[in-house]
Amino acid sequence: SSLSMTLGLPLSTTHRKILELEASGFLERVRSGRSTHLVPTRRSCVELDKSFEEMVSTLQRLYRDGPGLGQDRRGSASPERL
């Protein structure tokens, strides 16, 4: 219910999505007394690492190429990119 409130989603939607993530191997439930904690699985961590590496690579490429592909930093067309 805490996750549902934090995300602003109905409890039924949150429950359904958690079940989907568990079935896909991305989350597991760990009981601690009366509480249940959601824990990312190894698979989840590996996929997040891949996504992060792709994002960093994209940002490096964008930084290297500058704003507006096909334009130099002044906004004119770069001859090498035409």
- What backbone phi and psi angles, to 5 degrees, belong to 33? 65, -125
> Does 55 have pLDDT greater than 50?
yes
Answer whether CATH 3.40.50.720 is correct for domain 2-41.
no
pLDDT of 65: 79
Do 20 and 27 touch, CB atoms closer than 8 A? no
Domain boundaries, the chain: 2-41
Q: What is the mean pLDDT of the chain?
A: 84
The arithmetic mean of pLDDT across residues 29-58, rounded, is 91
pLDDT at residue 12 is higher than 70:
yes
